[in-house]
Amino acid sequence: MSRKPVSEAPALTHIDAAGEARMVDVSAKPATERTAVAEGRVIMSAATLELILTGNARKGDVLGTARIAGIMAAKRTAELIPLCHPLALSKVTVDITPDHGLPGCVVRASVKVTGPTGVEMEALTAVSVACLTIYDMIKAVERGVRIEAIHLVEKMGGKSGHYRA
């Protein structure tokens, strides 16, 4: 009877042999084009969504402000997430789509770089901060708003190739 070799579980890249947190050395990795797309949702009442869409929120343009906040957050990810590399991002887009079926908004961020490491964290950070900004701007009207389902939708480039959720 032959036995299959036992494969080792994948190692966490941000933990060294002694169990200490570390920043991954990417200096030997080639600079390639890398993109990532992340998405999340902000769930609210239909009345609150209508308030946003008519532009009558007390704090101003909710979706425009959230879009800018998401872009700014992507650019500052390395300052927020301790072991992320600072990256010279070449493109960040944050799209916010009202969805009456939720009711709420779907927030989607796309990030692009040519570099030695991916931009998944930048896309996820952009979505998270855009969702938080929407919450902040409407919390006076509705405290029960929920932020849900923040996740990586797709990543391309690098050694691990193409991933799609």
Q: What amino acid positions are annotated as catalytic residues?
A: 136
List Cβ<8 Å contacts ≥24 apart for 96-101.
96/63, 96/66, 96/67, 96/130, 96/134, 98/49, 98/52, 98/53, 98/63, 99/41, 100/46, 100/49
**For residues 96 and 105, is the Cβ–Cβ distance under 8 A?**
yes
Q: Which residue has the tokens 């797309």?
A: 37
Q: Which residue has the tokens 């992507």?
A: 74
